[in-house]
Structure formats: C-alpha cells, structure tokens
Structure 1
Amino acid sequence: MTLDDLRVFVAVCRAGSLSAVARDLACTQSAVSQHVKRLERETGVSLLERHARGVVPTEAGRVLQTAASEGIAGLDQALRRLRDLVDGEDGVVRVATGATTVRHFMSEAVVAFRQQHPGVSLEFRTESSSRACFDALAGSDLDLAWITLGPPVRGIEQRPVVDLPWVLALRADDPLASRPYVEPAELRAVRLIRLPPHSTSAACLDAACADLGVRLAFDTSVADWDTALLLAELGLGRAIVPALPGHAVPGDDGPLRLVPVRALRPLSVGWAVRRWDALTPLARAFADTVVDSCRRNAPAL
C-alpha cells in the first residue's frame, strides 16, 4: 500500500469514475484500476462497487476513503508548511471559491495582501457550490475554502466571517421598489427567481422562511447570485438574494433596486479549513485580510 494508491483511490471515490481519474492523471484506466486492486488485496475487502454509470465505494471503501482523505490532507498541509519555512515569503496560498466570491468578498483583500506579500502566489479554484468546496478542501492541498456556512462536515472546521441580510432585487420601476422594506409574508403570491437549486444559500433561505411560516414560489432558477441580480435588473423577475459587500441597500442608482426583507435570519458566509491551527502563516494572513475587508464593507440595513 503506497501513498499514490491512497491518493488515486480517494480521487476515484470523489469522481465516481475510473476513466475520469485516468484522464486527470494522464494514464490508462488499467493503471488506475491496479492502484485500487492493490489496496483490495492488502485490506482483504472489496472497496468499490461497479455500476453502469461508474463506481461507488463500499462500506469498507467509505471507511478507507475517510481515513485516507484526512491523512493525505494533513500530510499535504505539513509538507506545505515545511516548504514555506524554506521559501519564506515566496510561498503559495490556495483557495477554493464559488463563481463570484472573489469579486464580492475578496477583491480589496487580494490587493492588500499582494502589497504586503508581493512574492506570494495566490491560486483560486472555482467550485460550483459550498459542498464542492468542502470536497475539494478535504481531498487536495488547498488551504482555505470560502463557503456559505451549513451543517457540520466531518474533518472540516467552519468559521463565520460576515452575516448577509436578505434583500429583494427588482427593477426601479417595480411597484415594490419604493418601499423601505418588505415582509416575507407579502412575497407568498410573488413568483420569484430561485437561488441555485440544492445550494446551501437556497436551503438557508427556505429554512429562514419556514421559521416564519412562509413558503415561497419560484418560476425561474439560476446558477449564481449575480445571474439572479442581472435577471432582476432586466425586469425578468424578482429575486431574494443576500446583500453583498459593495451593494447599496436600498439601491438608489441605475435600474436595479435592493429592498430589505425584514425578519429573515441572515445568511452566514466565511472560511472553511481542515484545521485552523495547522494553517501556514501565509494562508492565515490571507484569511485574516479577507475577514478585515469583509467586516469593514459588510452591508448594513
């Protein structure tokens, strides 16, 4: 059993496909299969179940996947810290983010960090959701992930940075645009643009509405917050979205208006890491710079 065997096995479990991992590693599917077979011979148990659409770990496979993921992540982070000790200020900080995260939450911090640490490389990996960010963080050499806070995830620490109040995005000529605020109950009969399906932010909005006994209706769905704002600006619907840093609330310029939605529990966003006390000094410095920037520019209703 080698470290490469375990890395390949974890990658196969995450991708659900031997061929996909073979493409990523630029090797043959047979070579990937040999890594898994070697682990199965040494453990004496079947680790994968093969189906028409790919593979999934068996119960034993899930046990090994969890342990291997945590061990590999810890080893990678230790190796990173050793390299940073050798390289000094010429290190790398690797961050997983959503599609629009850097622009809304990190643009000011990236500039400030680069001025303070000109020799450090920043690498951003775009993921489609907070869940994907968790998976990337657990199975790679990433330092940090920016996420919408949700339920606990094994092997991951979540740290809130800023709470985002909810606003109703609509065109300036909409009858509701001149209101100082709206109540969630007023939106029961309004057809809305839905936040990304199955996303943590959509689940948090549903839960916040359920707390108030309100059920919303939707006729359109989008892949990210920016698309919801764009459709609202074009007059193609209304959207309940989190108030983002840098957006005036209520909005008073241009065709878009942002009207506060009262009484809804805000959306918490922040950092996820494997272990805060194991972060490299450079990764911690970047995380702290983002925290300072977000809290300074946090939207207020």
Structure 2
Amino acid sequence: MTLDDLRVFVAVCRAGSLSAVARDLACTQSAVSQHVKRLERETGVSLLERQPRGVTPTPAGRLLEAAAAEGIAGLDLALRRLRELVEGESGSVRIATGATTVRHFMAEAVVAFRRRHPDISLEFRTASSSRGCFDALADSELDLAWVTLGAPVRGIEQRAVVDLPWVLAVPADDPLAARPSVDAAQVQDLRLIRLPPDSTSAAQLDASCAESGVRFTFDTSVADWDTALLLAELGLGRAVVPALPGHAVPGTEGPLRLVPVRGLRPLSVGWAVRRWDALTPPARTFADTVTASCHRNAPTLP
C-alpha cells in the first residue's frame, strides 16, 4: 500500500469514475485500476462497486476513503508548512473563493497584504459554490476557502467572520425603494429573482423563511449575487440578497436601492480551513487581514 495508491483511490471515490481519474492523471484506466486492486489485496475487502455509470465505494471503501483523505490532507499540510519554514517570509497563500468574494470581501485586504508582504504571492482558485470550495480545500494544497457557513463538513473547520443581513434589491423608481425596511411577510407576495438554486446562500434563505413562516416566489434564477443585483438595477425584477460590505443600507443614491428585510436570520460567511493550527504564518496573516477588513466594512441595518 503506497501513498499514491491512497491518493488515487480517494480521487476515484470522489469522481465516481476510473476513466475520469485516468484523464486527470494522464494515465490509462488500467493503471488507475491497479492502484485500487493493490489496496483490495492488502485490505482483503472489496472497496468499489461497479455501477451502470461509474463506481461507488463499498461500506469498507467509504471507511478507507475517509481515513485516507484525512491523513493525506494532514501530510500535505505538514509538507507545505515545512517548505514555508525553509522559505521564511517568501512563499504563497492559496485561497478558494466564490465568484464575488474577492470584489466584495477581500479587495481592501488584498491591497494591504500586498503592501506589507510583497514577497508572498496570492493564488486564487474560483469555485462556483461553497461546496466547491470545500472540495477544492480537501483535494489540494489550498490554505483557505471563503464560504457561506453551513452544516459541518468532515475534515474542515469553519469560522464565521461577518453576518450579512438580508435586503430587498429594487430599482430606484420602484414603489418599495423609499421604504426604510420591509417585513419578510410583505416580500412573499412579490415575484423575486432567485439566488443560485444549489448554493448554500439559497438554502440558508429558504431555511430562514421557513423559520419565519413565509415562502418566497421566484420567476428568475441567477448564478451569483452580483447578477441578481444587476438585474434588479435594470428593473428586470426584485431580489432578496445579502447586504454586502461597502453597500449602503438602506441605499439613497444611484439606480439601485437596498431595503432591509426584517424577520430573516442573517447569512454567516467566513473562513474554512482543514486545520487552523496547521496554517502557515502567511496564510494566518492573510486570513486575519481579511477578517479585520470585513469587520470594518460590515453592513448593518439602521
């Protein structure tokens, strides 16, 4: 049993396909299969079940996958930290983000960090969702991921940075634009632009509505928060979105108005890491810089 065997096995379990992993590794499907077969010989149990489309881990396979993934992540962190210790103040910080993260949550912090640490490179990997950020964090040498906080994820530590109140985005000429706030119950009679359906933010909004006994109606769906804001600004619909740092709430100028929505639990966003105590010094400094910036610019309701 080798480390390569375990890495390939974890990749197969997550991809659900031998051929997909073979393409990623630029090798043959037979070579991938040999890694799995070697593990099965040494453990004495079947680890994968073949399905009409791909493969799934057996109960024994899921057990080995969980242990292997955690061990590999810890080893990768240790090796990365050793390299950083050798390099001193040089090195890099690798961050997984959503499509709008850098613009709304990190712009000020990135500039400040670069001025203070010009020899440390910043590498951003864009993911389409918090789930994608978690997967990227678990599968690579990424240091940090900025996510919408949700249910616990095995092998990942989440830390809230800022709570975002919900606002109703409408064009300046909308009848609701001049209101100081609206109740969630008043919004349920409107037809809204829906946040990305499979996103954590959409799920959190649905859960908060359920807690308040309201149900929103949607007739348009978008891929990210910025698109929802743009469509609302163009008068193509109204959207319930998180109030983002730097946005005036309630808004009083410009073509877009943001009206606080009362009665909904705020959306928590922040950092996800594999282990806080294993972060490199540059990664911890970057996380602290972003956190401080978010606290200074956090949106608040009047």
Return the alpha-carbon distance in structure 1 between the equivalents of residues 52 and 231 of structure 2.
39
Return the alpha-carbon distance in structure 1 between the equivalents of residues 219 and 86 of structure 2.
55
| 1:264 equivalent in structure 2 | 264
Percent identity, please.
82
Return the alpha-carbon distance in structure 2 between the equivalents of residues 198 and 220 of structure 1.
14
1:67, distance to aligned residue in structure 2 (A)? 0.5
1:103-123 deviation line (CA, Å, top 9, x unaligned): 111111111111111111111
Q: What TM-score do you get using the length of structure 2 for normalisation?
A: 0.97
* Correspondences of 1:127-146 after superposition (within 5 Å): 127-146=127-146
Return the alpha-carbon distance in structure 2 between the equivalents of residues 221 and 50 of structure 1.
36
Q: What TM-score do you get using the length of structure 1 for normalisation?
A: 0.97
1:253, distance to aligned residue in structure 2 (A)? 2.7
| 2:57 equivalent in structure 1 | 57
Is 1:77 matched up with 2:38? no
| 1:220 equivalent in structure 2 | 220
1:226, distance to aligned residue in structure 2 (A)? 0.9
Q: Confirm or deny: 8 A CA contact 1:184 1:214 kept in the other structure.
A: yes
* Correspondences of 1:125-274 after superposition (within 5 Å): 125-274=125-274
- In structure 2, runs of 5+ residues without a counterpart are none
Return the alpha-carbon distance in structure 1 between the equivalents of residues 36 and 128 of structure 2.
28
Q: Confirm or deny: 8 A CA contact 1:93 1:283 kept in the other structure.
A: yes
1:154, distance to aligned residue in structure 2 (A)? 1.6
Tell me the amino acid that sits aligned with residue 98 of structure 1.
Answer: G
Tell me the amino acid that sits aligned with residue 95 of structure 1.
Answer: I
SS for the counterpart of 2:140 is coil
1:246, distance to aligned residue in structure 2 (A)? 1.3
1:18-68 deviation line (CA, Å, top 9, x unaligned): 222222212222211211111111111121222232222111111111111
1:66-96 deviation line (CA, Å, top 9, x unaligned): 1111100000000011001100111111111
1:171-225 deviation line (CA, Å, top 9, x unaligned): 1111111111111000121111111112111111111111111111111111111
Return the alpha-carbon distance in structure 2 between the equivalents of residues 203 and 270 of structure 1.
17
Tell me the amino acid that sits aligned with residue 33 of structure 1.
Answer: S
| 1:91 equivalent in structure 2 | 91
Is 1:101 matched up with 2:101? yes
Tell me the amino acid that sits aligned with residue 168 of structure 1.
Answer: L
- Backbone CA RMSD of aligned residues: 1.1
Tell me the amino acid that sits aligned with residue 65 of structure 2.
Answer: Q
Q: Confirm or deny: 8 A CA contact 1:193 1:238 kept in the other structure.
A: yes
Return the alpha-carbon distance in structure 2 between the equivalents of residues 94 and 293 of structure 1.
19
Q: Confirm or deny: 8 A CA contact 1:10 1:139 kept in the other structure.
A: no
1:243-293 deviation line (CA, Å, top 9, x unaligned): 001111122232211111012110000001111111111110010000001
* Correspondences of 1:107-118 after superposition (within 5 Å): 107-118=107-118
- In structure 1, runs of 5+ residues without a counterpart are none
Return the alpha-carbon distance in structure 1 between the equivalents of residues 23 and 252 of structure 2.
50
Return the alpha-carbon distance in structure 1 between the equivalents of residues 19 and 225 of structure 2.
33
1:97-146 deviation line (CA, Å, top 9, x unaligned): 11111111111111111111111111111111111211221222111111
| 1:292 equivalent in structure 2 | 292
Moved more, 97-106 or 49-58: 49-58
Tell me the amino acid that sits aligned with residue 214 of structure 1.
Answer: V
Return the alpha-carbon distance in structure 1 between the equivalents of residues 177 and 160 of structure 2.
31
1:236, distance to aligned residue in structure 2 (A)? 1.2
Tell me the amino acid that sits aligned with residue 5 of structure 1.
Answer: D
Return the alpha-carbon distance in structure 2 between the equivalents of residues 124 and 88 of structure 1.
21
Q: Confirm or deny: 8 A CA contact 1:163 1:268 kept in the other structure.
A: yes
